Each structure stands twice: as C-alpha cells, then as structure tokens.
C-alpha cells in the first residue's frame, strides 16, 4: 500500500484537481491519495466545474488540514504551490519522496467568466499532464 499526499495552501483548487487525477490514474493500484492544505479554504467551485468537464467528479472531496494526516506514513509528498512548499510544517514520513511543482493558480484570475474558465482549463491541463507523467514514472507496471 502506497500513500500519496498532495499539499497546497488552502486545499481548495490545485491540490483537489491533482487528487482527482491521481485517484483516477491509480484506481487499479493499491494506493491511497490524500490532499491537504496548510490552511483550509473549502472546495473551489471553478475546480469542481472544470474537473466535471473532464469527466471527474470531485464534489465529495473535503478541504483538509495537513495536521489531520500526522499519523499517515506517506510514500510521496507533492507540494503544488510555492507558498505550501515554503511554509509546510514538518511531516514525519520516514522515506517519503518529496516533490514540488508550482502550478498556475486559476483562483487568482479576475476577469470575465470566459477568462476565468480559460484559467481553470489551463491549470487543469497543466496538473493533468504533470500527474500523468508522475504516475508513468513512479507507478509503471
């Protein structure tokens, strides 16, 4: 059994999308995916909508604080924004591989509905590609 933690600032958008893709890509493997934030901001409606457009329903996800998983021994800890990477509390996982990628934050975009949609689409595709490569690299059969 492998445990993966995806960590962001508020566990509302980028980490939730990453969690959705990892759970989907690894659904046939003995893996548990967790996502958390160093704060909790609730689920971002834009993230829910853009994932639904790609056939993934993340509406049952919850926004969780990283401290809730203090007793989980992670194999992978992946930070998806610089703020979380720089401010992450100590996570006592023995041999976790720690990875970082600062993904574009669509929740910061101000503009028309079309511009916001494009921002979420950009972030989703960036996240999807990164985690597809991650799965191919670390979970290849």
pTM: 0.94
What pLDDT is stored for residue 25 in this prediction? 98
Q: What is the dihedral of CA 16, 40, 99, 96, to 10 degrees?
A: -110
pLDDT digits 0-9 by tens, 109-130? 999 999 999 999 999 999 999 9
Q: Which residues contact 11 (CB under 8 A, 6 or more apart)?
A: 35, 36, 37, 39, 40, 41, 63, 64, 65
Band (pLDDT 50/70/90 cuts) for residue 92 is confident
Domain count, the chain: 1
**pLDDT surpasses 90 at 58:** yes
Residue pointed to by tokens 């800890």: 77
**pLDDT surpasses 70 at 141:** no
Q: How far, in whole angstroms, is CA 104 from its chain's centroid?
A: 12
Residue 117: how many CB atoms within 10 A of its CB? 17
Catalytic residues: 8, 81, 88
Cα–Cα distance for residue pair 132/15, rounded to 1 Å: 15
pLDDT digits 0-9 by tens, 61-91? 999 999 999 899 999 999 999 988 888 777 8
- The boundaries of the domain holding residue 129 are 2-138
Residue with the bigger pLDDT between 137 and 84: it is 137
CATH for 64: 3.40.50.2300
pLDDT digits 0-9 by tens, 31-53? 999 999 999 999 999 999 999 99
Which neighbouring-strand residues pair with 4?
33, 76
């Amino acid at each position: 059994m492998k445990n993966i933690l995806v960590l962001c600032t508020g566990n509302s958008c980028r980490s939730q999308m990453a969690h959705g893709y990892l759970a989907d890509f690894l659904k046939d493997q003995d893996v548990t995916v967790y996502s958390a934030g160093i704060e909790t901001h609730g689920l971002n409606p834009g993230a829910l909508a853009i994932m639904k457009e790609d056939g993934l329903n993340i509406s049952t996800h919850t926004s969780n604080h990283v401290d809730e998983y203090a007793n989980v021994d992670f194999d992978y800890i992946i930070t998806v924004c610089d703020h979380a990477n720089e401010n992450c509390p100590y996570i006592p996982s023995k041999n976790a591989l720690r990875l970082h990628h600062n993904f574009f934050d669509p929740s910061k975009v101000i503009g028309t509905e079309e511009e916001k949609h494009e921002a979420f689409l950009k972030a989703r595709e960036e996240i999807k590609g990164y985690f597809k490569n991650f799965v191919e690299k670390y979970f290849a059969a």
